[in-house]
Amino acid sequence: STAGIMALGVLLPSLLLGVAAAGEGSSSIDFSFKGRGSPDAVYGILSRVLGINSSDIFDLSFTDTCASSRPEASRSSLCFDILEGFTPDNKIAIRGTSGPELACGAAHYLR
């Protein structure tokens, strides 16, 4: 729904902080969130915000590296990829290096 998508945009900062709560940053620039959080937490937040079972739509999982190149100004190796096309079971595949990146990838796709 449009309201759900708008709510996701408004709640995204809280979403990212909540998923990343388990991570400890070594500094304000060099985050150590890689592998932190969980796809299940992101599924739960998306389901609550959008009012649907998000695991019916998204295939979220962790990856060690992303296929796309990092922006030159990036100070982190954290990233997400939205894979082209659909998975064999017609889901949108998003890969990320941590829970916050999976959430960012889903939010980016929904925009």
Q: Both tokens of residue 48? A: 């609550």
Q: How many CA atoms lie within 13 A of 30 on its CB side?
A: 2
Dist CA 106 CA 80 (whole Å) = 9
Instruction: Tell me what the mean pLDDT of segment 91-108 comes to.
Output: 91
pTM for this prediction? 0.67
Say what percent of the chain tops pLDDT 70. Answer: 66
Instruction: Tell me what the mean pLDDT of segment 43-72 comes to.
Output: 89
Backbone angles phi, psi at 94, to 5 degrees: -125, 130
Which one-letter amino acid corresponds to residue 28?
S
DSSP one-letter code for 56? G
